[in-house]
Amino acid sequence: MASRILLLAFLALVSSHAIASDPSPLQDFCVADKTSHVFVNGLVCKNPNDVRADDFFFSGLDRPGDAANKLGSNVTLVNVEKIAGLNTLGISLARIDFAPYGLNPPHIHPRATEILTVLEGSLYVGFVTSNTDNRLFAKVINKGDVFVFPQGLIHFQFNYGMKNAVAIAALSSQNPGVITVANAVFGSKPPISRDVLAKAFQVDKKTIDWLQAQFWMDNNN
């Protein structure tokens, strides 16, 4: 009896890990039906008879994104919103363009691991582990180099050079999501209490007021 209980507990544990990321496909493909109003964990499948080659196609990743902004970076994400055929396949892609000294700021992908390769230039990249270690793993990577950012950890990419840089990233979800740390903390709607933030960051309330004003302005432009 005890062995059966242990076996059931083990199977439950394995099953929980198996469904912890994007669900696996149960057929060859499940092209997203973007006209459906049914809410499911993912997107409803289009009738396979209505599927066409263009449902698996995206054009334009060869064109640089506009990095002429405060951060000096631009992310062109190719997820299930861009390619309906990605639905249930657990993968997406992004092109990241960097102006000189451009930054893809500290952020999190709550649903995906990221693997990134540099196409042009050099980048200083890194991620920070969870509490309580908060250990930084960082490295300068060059053209042809590859770096991995584990799921759910804060990470960044910075072009420290005088020339533009380009990278391609693959992510282990059709919809990886992104939480930019500074925007979420200082630009939330409605704003987080300045008493909370002042205590959390150990700064005065005037500094919090200034930061919130900056990010509210950026988020509403």
The binding site for oxalate consists of: 104, 109, 114
Angle at 176 between CA 167 and CA 119, to 5 degrees: 10
The binding site for Mn(2+) consists of: 107, 109, 114, 155
Say if CB 93 and CB 173 are below 8 A apart.
Answer: no
Rounded distance between C-alpha atoms, residue 149 and residue 108, angstroms: 9
Mean pLDDT (whole number) for 119-139: 97
Name the pLDDT band for 36 (thresholds 50, 70, 90).
Answer: confident
Counts of helices then strands in the chain (DSSP H, E): 4, 10
Name the pLDDT band for 1 (thresholds 50, 70, 90).
Answer: low
Distances (CA, A) of 12 to 2, 7, 24, 41, 199: 15, 9, 17, 21, 41
Rounded distance between C-alpha atoms, residue 87 and residue 173, angstroms: 9
Mean pLDDT (whole number) for 120-137: 97
The per-residue pLDDT for range 142-184, each reduced to its tens digit, is 999 999 999 999 999 999 989 999 999 999 999 999 999 999 9
* % of the chain residues with pLDDT over 70: 88
| Order of strands, sheet of 179-180, starting from the edge strand that comes earlier in the sequence | 136-142, 122-128, 154-158, 103-108, 179-180
The binding site consists of: 104, 107, 109, 114, 155
| Order of strands, sheet of 73-78, starting from the edge strand that comes earlier in the sequence | 73-78, 92-98, 165-171, 114-120, 146-149
Mean pLDDT of the chain: 89
The per-residue pLDDT for range 69-128, each reduced to its tens digit, is 999 999 999 999 999 999 999 999 999 999 999 999 999 999 999 999 999 999 999 999
